[in-house]
Amino acid sequence: MLENVPGMQKIDEEKEGPFQEFIKLLKELEYNYISFIANAENYGIPQRRKRLVLLASRVGKVTLPEITHGKNKIPFKTVRDYIQDFTKLCSGETDPKDPLHRAGTLSPLNLKRIMHTPEGGDRRNWPEELVNKCHKNYDGHTDTYGRMSWDKPAPTLTTKCNSYSNGRFGHPDPTQHRAISIREASRLQTFPLSYVFKGSLNSMAKQIGNAVPCELARLFGLHLIENCTNKDS
């Protein structure tokens, strides 16, 4: 099983890229394979996260995993489903029972900004004096400085998922003026609560942002095992 960003399958005009070379190797080794773009929210993960997935086996036919969540299917899992029960925090605070449930300290300016940001909102909700000069005549990248929405999947968690100024990582509760904590980010990647991360906060955020959502890996792994043990294969 392979997972990477969708751009991995891009074909270079002058030469084959690493993904195409890998496919050629699979064929030479007589692997059956299938590759597709998977959005994690379609498989019960509380996050919109599109990734290239490749499943391969030399034992039987490999099929696409069934999409289980979405329109006319099981409703998407949401931010509320995974982080609403955590202790409430504000900028700079830490849950005494869980050192990874810690809110980064916001600057005075960013604290004012997030206080003017409603659930699901962003810099377009701010008064003029709080908007960066570079954003005043620019409508793009509106996720920056945004808050998540309780009843939607989270945006794609990046390696800076605990930073308020690097994406829509503001906590959805408008009374909690902070970005999500490392623990909350890990839950939105479906890590178990018992999982222990090591390193600095920035290092842990990088580990989380680079990870395959645990439950997605489990689901696709089980699907591949089922393909390999199918009597019709």
pLDDT, position 17: 84
> What does the alpha-carbon distance between residue 211 and residue 3 come to, in Å, rounded to a whole number?
10
Question: Consecutive sets of 10 residues in the chain, 233 residues long: mean pLDDT of each?
Answer: 90 75 95 97 98 94 96 98 97 96 96 97 92 74 89 98 95 97 98 95 97 98 92 58
> What does the alpha-carbon distance between residue 62 and residue 42 come to, in Å, rounded to a whole number?
19
Q: Which domain holds residue 43?
A: 2-76+213-229
**Greatest CA separation for the chain:** 66
CATH, residue 38: 3.40.50.150
Are 203 and 128 within one domain?
Answer: yes
pLDDT, position 109: 96
Are 123 and 93 within one domain?
Answer: yes
Q: What is the pTM of this model?
A: 0.92
> What does the alpha-carbon distance between residue 185 and residue 86 come to, in Å, rounded to a whole number?
12
Are 177 and 86 within one domain?
Answer: yes
Are 173 and 116 within one domain?
Answer: yes
Q: How many domains does the chain have?
A: 2
CATH, residue 149: 3.90.120.10
> Where is 50: in which H helix or E strand?
strand 50-57
Are 203 and 220 within one domain?
Answer: no
Are 94 and 156 within one domain?
Answer: yes
pLDDT, position 136: 75
Type of residue numbered 97:
K
pLDDT, position 209: 98
> What does the alpha-carbon distance between residue 95 and residue 178 come to, in Å, rounded to a whole number?
14
Are 66 and 103 within one domain?
Answer: no
Are 157 and 184 within one domain?
Answer: yes
> What does the alpha-carbon distance between residue 73 and residue 54 come to, in Å, rounded to a whole number?
24
Are 95 and 55 within one domain?
Answer: no
Nearest one of 71, 39, 40, 51 to 7, comparing CA atoms? 51
